[in-house]
Structure 1
Amino acid sequence: MPEGEQESPRLLSASLSSASYLVLLQLFSRICTFILNQILVRLASPQTFGTASIQFELLLSTILFLSREGVRNAVLRSAPGKASQGQLVTNISLLPVVFGIPASCIFSIIYITTSPAATRSQPYFVPSVATYAVAAAIELASEPLYIRAQNDFRFDVRVRAEGIAVFTKSTVTFLVLALGRPEWALLAFAAGQAGYGLATLGIFLIAYGVREHYNFQKVIITNKENKQTTTFDPELLRLARAMTVQSFVKHFLTEGDKFLVSWLSPLEDQGGYAIASNYGSLVARIVFQPIEETSRVFFSKAFALAKDGGEDAHNALQTAGSLLMTLLLASMHLFLLLATFAPPYLPLAMSIFLPQRYLATSAPKILGAYIYYIPIMAFNGILEAFFASACTPADLRKQSTMMAAATAGFVATSVMFSRGLDMGDVGLIWANICNLGARALYAWTFARGYFTKSGFPRAVVPSLAMPPAHVLSVFAVAASVTRWSAHRNADAPLSIMAQKAHLSTGVVCVFACIAACFIFQRARLAEMTRALRSR
């Protein structure tokens, strides 16, 4: 097989390998976070936990997302295997450092000056915010090396860096909180985040070093008989600028619930919202966040490869369509599992993992809404990863118009659900579900149009993302049985021993659903396995 025709399979192989790396990373990261949260909710008050996990994390994500997201997505579009792109990618990867470090100072000052008096009055509030700003700057300093590892498919370096960073953050936060004075609570979270940034930067520096990664260098590009000296690839720079501008709207839509919670809700309710969000998104972050990230890498490189045309482009598009529908089918199974089993077993889980003082907050209702929020996050993440990989600047401008409408819709539905229908903080989750659903539908429409124009009109169709009727029937029966079991055991205490009959019913139903998936979808599973092995 010619070298060009082998490139798409190599990309898929590297992407699958990266997915396994990142799933292991997220598993380790979420286990550490889960254990840390179990400890922290018993050591820190809901007010402190809400400030750190909602407001400080929102400040950090705002600095990082707006500084680097556009550049990250743009450089993935650089053509694989072209040495001339190397220094141009390095140059553009320095932009998050150049603009992000001043941004961390500006956003921190804005946050301090606009925070309510109840928030500012907490001990060591300003030093804690300053420490978070420094932590963001340190993490941004590792961005050129992160992008290098991403483009080299060196996911082992990223896994090592983030794994050690998560362990460092958990250890430092716990030690300061457990051994320090009570008024150091906010500083404990800030010190943990600083440890995360230092560990991340340190591991990347060990892997790649400083040389040639932190200097802007001119590059001479030869185009036919013309030579041009430039610092940035014009196409990548335009794309990075467009994606960065759009990231302002996208960030508000992604984190809009936290913005509104931090402004509207008391600090103790912010703590309940934070713990519910951390627990509620556990499954999505362990499995679907790595899949979203690696699919973005694969789609970006595959479509860059497809620009060359020929048989290689045909193979890349065919593989991309197959992968997209496989991921959407997996998301549909996640939705079925959560909708079937989470509602009848959520009260028992909350009684085990949530301290009594958090049961009095909005956490229980928020966790109930997360049952439907998690699958929507998975669908939207995969579809927007495809969109970000295949779109042109013109497509981005169209999506920005849709994002502006989605922003207005999110604010309107948030007010309607939270205030008009008196749903409180849980109304923000349902507003987010509507918002993500609209965004996912837009990206799905784009994907269908993209493959139709490329000559693959049947590559993206709803039926390929739906399990067969027999599987849906088994899930429906399981949902009825588990809810009947929950009603039958409603008067029993919320403990494992008292609810053992209810738990046993759930275990049997879970195995029945999994068995149905394998039995009635074995032909498709075999087809997908053969396709992956052949590549």
Structure 2
Amino acid sequence: MGSQEVLGQAARLASSGLLLQVLFRLITFVLNAFILRFLSKEIVGVVNVRLTLLYSTTLFLAREAFRRACLSGSTQRDWSQTLNLLWLTAPLGVLWSLFLGLVWLQLLEVPDPNVAPHYAAGVVLFGLSAVVELLGEPFWFLAQAHMFVKLKVIAESLSVVLKSVLTVFLVLWLPHWGLYIFSLAQLFYTTVLVLCYVIYFTKLLGSPESTKLQTLPVSRITDLLPNITRNGAIINWKEAKLTWSFFKQSFLKQILTEGVYDIVNNLGSLVARLLFQPIEESFYVFFAKVLEREKDATLQKQEDVAVAAAVLESLLKLALLSGLTITVFGFAYSQLALDIYGGTMLSSGSGPVLLRSYCLYVLLLAINGVTECFTFAAMSKEEVDRYNFVMLALSSSFLVLSYLLTRWCGSVGFILANCFNMGIRITQSLCFIHHYYRRSPHRPLAGLCLSPVLLGAFALSGGVTAVSEVFLCCEQGWPARLGHIALGAFCLGATLGTAFLTETKLVHFLRTQLGVPRRTDKTT
């Protein structure tokens, strides 16, 4: 498969992921609005914060390292060994769910059973749902490695819709079940999701069409199950060692550097999750398939290196523009957003300062997502280990800085410490990218440079909206607020128009890769 074809499929994967995120957020928003009419906000809070965190943390620690290591392998591999390695995610998920479940039940404060009944059962069922989802990891990996876009869209959409229907039914008919409602719905969601992948591959591999798919490494559904390979090796130890390196990195990232505060985190990271996460996940697959680990850029196929550099430059530009837009306009509209979302209780306290600080963090988050997306796809195992060592060495300084800044300026200090940590990670990735391309004619880091005209447009918009906030928001009433919103919309339109006229290379990339349907995904 050529690099251009892989790029097209990665772009489709990113765009479909973006649409799915928007769909899921809308469904979740409407569902929460409905549920709050029948159940207490404490129950919804326990689900959205405590139990969802348990579920996502279990999945992250059990499978993230395996995904990064296995997706970066060459197509010329022993697929049985790779699939055997991926099956290890399930027992690891069992261990992590048991350990984290004990933490959630024994170390964290247990909610009042009169307010949030069946909390212990909720912890068990959310942990079980994570394990069930991990059982489908080999099937997900095969679909992701071969970019079966429609399968991903159908499976995730169907799972979310059916989960929502079940939740509504249980809320209407059995509201006294409390946390049982959400726990059973979550378990149902993961079961349907896994079954979609299993049923699809069962039908595909049992049909005459499968003989035409020469790219698929398996011919029978039983080939996806754990088995002993021809040479007697159970797993690929090179991939296993790379997985261990990525696990150490994921563990450090999850335990030492993640997390900001509830409502501000949800509002501030909404656009980041919608836009950046699908792009990072999809283009990691692209870079991993196009580039070979442990090889300098000059020793690889130059067409692939050139395409990877062009894509990286465009993604950096997109991340920078998106992050700057959020930062510039977020400063002037944080107070209004919090006021609309939660009233004066949020907008009159420290909330606006927190959200403004978080807008800066989102800018760094966007750039870091793209740079690490490339870096982790191109690094050798030894380079990943060195990166982990640096992260471990810096973790102590991060914790000390968090303590000092939190004592000095409260919650804002923790966000600023996260900004410092993200800046260090970005610097490491930029150094790697510069070193990777230093002997080639390509300079992808040029994507972090904007034209003076566009920078001026951002500066002018920031100044105008800041003045508008002082005179039109938020105590002056809704007519003044609407004026503030209209002025912001005008400045945003002018800024985006300037970007459209000055960043022609990025516009061309978005048009050709994200805006034009491709016909390469015939299998799904």
Is the structural similarity TM-score above 0.5?
yes
* Distance (Å, rounded) in 2 between the aligned partners of 1:102 and 1:356: 44
Alpha-carbon displacement from aligned partner over 1:460-510 (angstroms, at most 9, x marks no partner):
33x432210011111111111112222221365453x44222222112111
Most deviating of 242-251 and 282-291: 242-251
Give the aligned partner of residue 434 of structure 2. Answer: 448
Residues 531 and 172 (structure 1), Cα distance of their counterparts in 2 relative to 1, 3 Å cut:
closer
Q: 1:323 aligns to what?
A: 311
Seen in structure 2, the aligned counterparts of structure 1 residues 525 and 403 have a Cα distance that, compared at 3 Å, is same
Aligned to 1:373, what secondary structure does the other structure show?
helix
SS of corresponding position for 2:232:
strand
- Quick one: distance in 1 between partners of 2:409 and 2:37? 30
Partner of 2:251: 248
Alignment check: 8 A CA contact 1:325 1:464 kept? yes
| CA–CA distance in structure 2, aligned partners of residues 345 and 518 of structure 1 | 23
Specify whether residues 144 and 254 from structure 1 end up closer, same or farther in structure 2 by C-alpha distance, changes over 3 A only.
farther
Please say if residues 21 and 159 of structure 1, whose CA atoms lie closer than 8 Å, have aligned partners that are also in contact: yes
Does 1:391 pair with 2:379?
Answer: yes
Q: Does the 8 Å contact 2:361/2:415 carry over to 1?
A: yes
CA distance in 2, matches of 1:349, 1:196: 32
- Of the three residues 17, 22, 29, the one matched with 2:24 is 29
Q: 1:58·1:255 contact (CA, 8 Å) conserved in 2?
A: no
Q: Does 1:212 align with 2:222?
A: yes
Q: CA deviation at 1:147?
A: 0.6
Contact 1:306 1:317 in 2 (8 A): no
Distance in 2, matches of 1:355 and 1:485, equals 20
Candidates 397, 400, 410, aligned match of 1:423: 410
Name the CA shift for 1:523/1:91 in 2 (closer, same or farther; >3 Å).
closer
User: 1:271-286 counterparts in 2 under 5 A?
Assistant: 273-286=261-274
Summarize deviations over 1:194-228 as a string: whole Å, max 9, x none. 232122112112212393255222223xxxxxxx3
- Asked whether the equivalents of residues 409 and 435 of structure 1 are also in contact (C-alpha less than 8 Å), the reply is no
How far is the alpha carbon of 1:344 from its aligned partner?
A: 2.0
Q: Which runs of 5+ in 2 are unaligned?
A: 203-219
2:131 alignment counterpart: 137
Aligned with 1:474 (options 442, 451, 457): 457
1:517 matches 2:520: no
1:200 to 186, 193, 198: 193
SS in 2 for 1:304: coil
Whether 2:468 is the aligned partner of 1:485: answer: yes
In structure 2, give the amino acid aligned to 1:14: Q
Q: Which residue of 2 aligns with 1:264?
A: none
Structure 1: unaligned runs, 5 residues or longer: 1-5, 221-227, 258-272
Aligned to 1:460: 444
For residue 457 of structure 1, report the CA deviation from its aligned partner.
5.9
The TM-score with structure 1 as length reference comes to 0.84
Task: Specify which of 19, 27, 33 is matched with residue 14 of structure 2.
Answer: 19
8 Å contact kept, 1:306–1:313: no
**Aligned counterparts of 2:15 and 2:31: Cα–Cα separation in 1:** 24
- For the Cα contact (< 8 Å) 2:294–2:378, is it kept in 1? no
1:153-168 correspondence runs (5 A): 153-168=147-162
Return the offset for 1:282.
Answer: 1.6
Percent identity, aligned pairs only?
27
Q: What is the one-letter code of the residue matched to 2:490?
A: V
Looking at structure 1, the residues matched to 351 and 171 of structure 2 have their Cα atoms a distance apart, in angstroms, of 23
- In structure 1, what residue type is equivalent to 2:221? R
Task: Please report the RMSD computed on the Cα atoms of aligned residues, expressed in angstroms.
Answer: 3.1
Q: Does 1:85 align with 2:71?
A: no
Q: How far apart are 1:229 and its partner, in Å? A: 3.0
Alignment partners' CA distance in 1, 2:134 and 2:374: 25
Distance 1:473 1:28 in 2: 35
169-178 or 523-532: bigger deviation: 523-532
For residue 5 of structure 2, the aligned residue among 5, 10, 19 is 10
